[in-house]
Amino acid sequence: MNKPITVLTRKGEQQLKDELNELRSVRRREVAEKIKVALSFGDLSENSEYDEAKNEQGIIESRIAEIEATLAHAQIIDDDDISTEKVGIGITVKLYDVEMDEELEFKIVGTKEADINHGKMSDESPIGAAIIGHKVGEEVEVETPDGVEKFKILEIKKEDEE
C-alpha cells in the first residue's frame, strides 16, 4: 500500500524537523531519566511514576515515527514555485464572506500544517478545497456543514509580501 503524499511548505518542513530534533535530543533524554529514577523506586508492579514515564516514552517514540514518515513522503512546496495568479498551497488569501459581510485572511497549507487558530487553513478543508485554483475577483460557493456559503477572492499573496 502506498503512503499518501503529504504536502508541506518549506516553513512547515522546517517546523517538523525542529520538532523531531527536540524530541530526539531533549525529550528522549528527559524521559529516559524519568524511567531511571522510577526504576530506582523498586517494585514496578505498583510504580505509577514508571508507568507514566513508559507511557510518555511511547508517545514520544510514536510522534518521532509519525514525523519521520511524514518527512519521508512529503512533497515540499518551494516559495519560488508559489504563484499568486491563483489560489494554491503556500499562498495567503484574503476572502470576503458574502453572508457574514466580513473579510477573512489565511494561508493555505497542507493538512499536517493546518492550524486555523494561527491562520493556516488546510487545502483539504471545505473552504480550502473549494478556492484552490481560483483567481482574484472570482466568487466561490462552498458546501459547508452549515450549508452553502459564498466567498469572493479579494487578494492572493505570498506570505512575505505586504
CATH number of the domain to which 67 belongs:
1.10.287.180
Kindly report, residue by residue over 126-149, the tens digit of the pLDDT: 999 999 999 999 999 998 888 899
Domain count, the chain: 2
Contact present, 162 and 153 (Cβ < 8 Å): no
The residue-averaged pLDDT of 22-37 equals 94
pLDDT band at 3 (very low <50, low <70, confident <90, very high): low
CATH number at 151 reads 3.10.50.30
How far is the C-alpha of 90 from the C-alpha of 78, rounded, in Å? 8
Which three cell numbers mark 101? Answer: 459581510
**68 and 94 belong to one structural domain:** no
- Asked if the model's pLDDT at residue 42 lies above 50, the reply is yes
Asked, for residue 45, whether it belongs to a domain, the answer is yes
How far is the C-alpha of 89 from the C-alpha of 7, rounded, in Å? 8
- Asked if the model's pLDDT at residue 84 lies above 90, the reply is no
- Residues of the domain holding 69: 6-77
User: Is this structure's pTM higher than 0.75?
Assistant: no
Which residue in the block uniquely carries the three cell numbers 489560489?
87
Nearest to 161 by CA among 83, 75, 77: 83
Asked, for residue 1, whether it belongs to a domain, the answer is no
DSSP structural state of residue 159: T
Asked, for residue 152, whether it belongs to a domain, the answer is yes
The pLDDT score that the predictor gives to residue 38 is 85
pLDDT band at 117 (very low <50, low <70, confident <90, very high): very high
SS3 157: strand
Burial state string for 115-128 with b = 16 or more CB within 10 A and e = fewer than 16: eeeeebbbbebebb
The chain-wide mean pLDDT, for the chain, equals: 89
Asked, for residue 25, whether it belongs to a domain, the answer is yes
**Residue % of the chain over a pLDDT of 70:** 95
- Asked if the model's pLDDT at residue 36 lies above 50, the reply is yes
Asked, for residue 162, whether it belongs to a domain, the answer is no
Q: Rounded to the nearest 5°, which phi and psi values hold at 104?
A: -125, 145
What distance lies between CA 19 and its chain's CA centroid? 12
Q: Within 10 A of 38 (CB to CB), how many other CB atoms are there?
A: 18
The residue-averaged pLDDT of 12-33 equals 95
Contact present, 98 and 150 (Cβ < 8 Å): yes
**43 and 106 belong to one structural domain:** no
Q: Within 10 A of 63 (CB to CB), how many other CB atoms are there?
A: 14
The pLDDT score that the predictor gives to residue 9 is 85
Asked, for residue 39, whether it belongs to a domain, the answer is yes
The pLDDT score that the predictor gives to residue 161 is 44
